[in-house]
Amino acid sequence: MMMPETNPKGEQNNDRRITGKAGCADQPGIFSERGRRKKQAQEAVQHCPDLLQKNLEQWAAGEPLTEISINGYSIPMLLALWHSPDFLGAMEVLAEYLTGDRDKAERRIWRTRR
């Protein structure tokens, strides 16, 4: 018969997720994916151009995104074009378009579609 595990205080621990013996902890790569997405979100917040700040706030609140057009491109347009919910990726591309190499950003916009 399997005995319940105890925590350092000697209390029984029946929540298998805490012990790491069941649940998402057993799925390889799930924490590294979460960590990567968290890092990407933190970087997006830090580097978000003022023009896209409203979309970032709407996305964080789970609200519908406003069309903020940047030379014909917007985050909702990129998401529809890519058939993807990757808000952070779309924001990153538009931020690059605004502040960096526009040609490179346009290649990313259209390459991701393929």
Average pLDDT score over residue span 90-99: 92
Q: Is the pLDDT of residue 72 over 80?
A: yes
Question: What is the pLDDT, as a whole number, of residue 20?
Answer: 43
Tens of pLDDT, residue by residue over 2-46, are: 555 555 566 665 544 444 444 444 455 656 767 776 777 777 778
92 Cβ partners below 8 Å, 6+ apart? 40, 44
Average pLDDT score over residue span 47-61: 89
Question: Please, is 31 exposed, middle or buried when counting C-beta atoms within 10 Å of its C-beta (0-12, 13-18, 19+)?
Answer: exposed
Average pLDDT score over residue span 80-108: 92
Question: What is the pLDDT, as a whole number, of residue 99?
Answer: 87
